[in-house]
Structure formats: structure tokens, C-alpha cells
Amino acid sequence: MTLPARRGLDAIPTYRQGRPAAPGASKLSSNESPHPPLPSVIDAVRERIETIHRYPNMAAPEIIGRLAERYGVDAAQVTVGAGSVELAAQLIHAVAGEGDEVIFAWRSFEAYPSLVRIAGATPVQVPLDADHRHDLDAMLAAITPQTRLIFVCNPNNPTGTVVGPAELEAFVAAVPRDILVVIDEAYVHFDRSEYFDDAHAGAGIHLLHRYPHVAVLHTFSKAYGLAGLRIGYAIAPREIADSQRKVAIPFGVTDLAQTAAVASLDAEDELRERIAEVVTQRERLVSVLQDAGWPAVASEANFVWVPAGERAIELDELLQAGDVVVRTFPGDGVRISSGSQEDIDRVERALAASTVSSTTAEEARA
């Protein structure tokens, strides 16, 4: 006898993690920091390790207090979760259910459609424009009486493109006030466009202070290098944050994660240096790809999107042959994370080797 599964789960794909890499290869398939944790963060976590037999404080008062002070909001508006992906799920469950709709661009964060379906709501995917950016006019046109939430991933994953502050505000202002606009800024620290804010607050925080229907997602997984500890935060209208706490997994953020997040806030000068290095290698990666004839999109995140279409598998295989593992969406494109200088050197060698092979083959046919 087969045990029954919940109806509708067949329509929900299992989330696919970035492929692992063999020892010595470059793992550029997940948007992780190429740097190990800062010594001060390691020391803070080490000091707390002897208390892991105790449950963490679900209220997370220290990190929430620090974030509330930083962004000038009430602590009751700040929630934490196991990365911004869990917080996105909390926000969906807090406002949407059976018969409701959630709008987002596509392609965007791969988990959005699954998270929406898990909540019982209906995902509404709005294609990106020709420049791989959010088509905000089309997203506004997609709003119906059933719409409860709209995600704007900014910078967008996997394309790395951004919506500028002025156009984002015009969009938020045009969305009815009974629809929550969630500005997902997981990659805001890497942005050097007009969207850039040296305090890494992002345009979302400024809009949250001026509009009653805006929530913002940030994470410690990317720029802060805490992907393995799983902690992110949301800032939302108080009534939404209260609902988030109702749907959150109890004890979902460990004491070690909270400790590491606080220590990371204390070490931001060092982290800025690391972020600058990632940005430098990202710009170099764009040039390397374009020089090799691949249509890399200028990025403001810690990765680069190559809309290779039917050649996506070809690019994947070329890089694999050079010991580089990337995130490939067959028939669509390839996302390559910005790694260390050594990682980008390896990408360059892999593409150069393929160019040499192609030239040799052409000469042989001639």
C-alpha cells in the first residue's frame, strides 16, 4: 500500500541546490562568499559553542535590537529566519492562501514559485524585459483582485539586474495599499549602480519608511559569509511581522547564527573590503565571458548571468572541463558566482582552452 501524499505536491519541484565541486575545483554554482569567516566571527561563535545544549532565544533580542536601531524602525517590525528564503515563505504564509495570487518576475529566485504553491496560493510569473530586468508595467498589469503579494528581487537572481530607486518608488506607489510589496535585497551589498547606498540600506528600506505596504528582505548568507549558519531578516509593517511570528518555525534561528550575525555587524569594515574584492572579480568575470564571445549581462550581484539559451549546456560543459562548477538552467542560461581571483583565473583558462580547440578544429577542416 502506498501512503498518501498531500494533493498538489506533484506540481512543486524539490529545490535544487547548487552542484557540489570535486576537491580542488571551483564551486561557482551557489552564491556563497569565496572567503572563510572572519576571525572575530569565528571567535564569537567559539565562545558560544558550549551552550548549544540550550534552546536559542526565539525573540533574538540582540540582533533584532541592533537591526532596528540601524534602520530606524520599531523592533516589533523586525523578524529573523533561517535565511531570507525562510522569511519569504513566512511572508507568503502571512498574507496569502488558497485562491490568492503572488506576483513575481521570471526568471527570478528559483524558490518563489514553490514557496507560493506550498502555501496553497497561485504563482503569477511575469517575464523579464529584453534587458533581463523586471518589467514593472507588466507586473502592474498582472494585478487582479486575488493578488496579495508581489516580490521584487533587487538585484535580481539570477540575472543580476536592478530596478533603480525612482522607478521602484513609482511602482510601489502604483500598487494598491492592500497588496504587500516585498523587496528582496539579498544581494544589495554588491550593488554599485544608482541603487547603491554606502550604508547598504538599499532603496527598499527608504520606501518602507514612506509606504505602509512595503517589506524588505536581507540576509547574512551572501556578503557576510554566513550561508552555513542560516540567518536573514525581514523588516515589515508591524501587523505583517506579527503574522510572520505566528507562521515561523519555532527555534528556527540558532543561537550560534544569532551570535555570528551580531559579530558580523561589528566587523563591517573588514567585510566591506571583502565585498569590494567580490565586486572586482565580478566585473572581471563579465569581461572574461564577453571577450570569449558569451553574452554575459552586466551584474550588480555576486554572480553573472549568461543568457546562452540552447548553448547553456555547452557552456556548462566547457567550464566543467576546466574544473569550474556553475548553476545551469538548460535552454535558458548559466549563472556563475563571483569567486576568488583564482576561481576567475580558472574560468578564463577554461574558456581560452575552448577557443583554442575551436580554432584548431576550424583549421583542420580548412
Band of the pLDDT at 360, cuts 50, 70, 90? very low
pLDDT (mean) for 83-102: 97
pLDDT (mean) for 273-292: 97
**Contact between residue 188 and residue 163 where contact means Cβ atoms under 8 Å apart:** no
Q: What is the pLDDT of residues 335-356, one digit of tens each?
A: 999 999 999 999 999 999 876 4
Band of the pLDDT at 199, cuts 50, 70, 90? low
Q: Is the pLDDT of residue 364 over 80?
A: no
pLDDT (mean) for 255-261: 98
Please say whether the structural domain 19-36+269-357 has been given the CATH code 3.90.1150.10. Answer: yes
User: Which pLDDT belongs to residue 14?
Assistant: 80
Strand partners, 126: 105
Q: Domain 39-265 has what CATH class? A: alpha beta
* Strand, helix or coil for residue 68: helix
Query: 559569509: which residue's cell?
Result: 225
Q: Choose among 174, 170, 175, 168: nearest CA to 153.
A: 168
- Mean pLDDT across the chain: 93
Q: What is the pLDDT of residues 216-240, one digit of tens each?
A: 999 999 999 999 999 999 999 999 9
Q: How far is CA 21 from the centre of its chain?
A: 21
**Contact between residue 194 and residue 227 where contact means Cβ atoms under 8 Å apart:** no
Q: Is the pLDDT of residue 361 over 50?
A: no
Instruction: In the chain, count H helices and then E strands.
Output: 12, 11
Tell me how far apart the alpha carbons of residues 30 and 158 are, in angstroms, rounded to a whole number: 11
pLDDT (mean) for 142-159: 98
Q: Is the pLDDT of residue 154 over 80?
A: yes
Q: What is the pLDDT of residues 38-88, one digit of tens each?
A: 999 999 999 999 999 999 999 999 999 999 999 999 999 999 999 999 999
User: Which pLDDT belongs to residue 11?
Assistant: 80
pLDDT (mean) for 275-281: 96
Residue intervals in the chain for CATH 3.40.640.10: 39-265
Q: What is the pLDDT of residues 116-130, one digit of tens each?
A: 999 999 999 999 999
Tell me how far apart the alpha carbons of residues 174 and 299 are, in angstroms, rounded to a whole number: 27
pLDDT (mean) for 162-176: 96
Tell me how far apart the alpha carbons of residues 156 and 164 are, in angstroms, rounded to a whole number: 12
Cβ neighbours around 221 below 10 Å, total: 23
Q: What is the pLDDT of residues 1-40, one digit of tens each?
A: 678 878 888 888 887 878 888 888 999 999 999 999 999 9
Q: Is the pLDDT of residue 211 over 70?
A: yes
Residue intervals in the chain for CATH 3.90.1150.10: 19-36+269-357
4-13, 195-204, 237-246, 315-324: which range is least confident on average? Answer: 195-204
User: Which pLDDT belongs to residue 3?
Assistant: 80
Strand partners, 149: 102, 180
Burial group, residue 114, by CB count within 10 angstroms (0-12, 13-18, 19+): middle
User: Which pLDDT belongs to residue 57?
Assistant: 97
* Strand, helix or coil for residue 3: coil
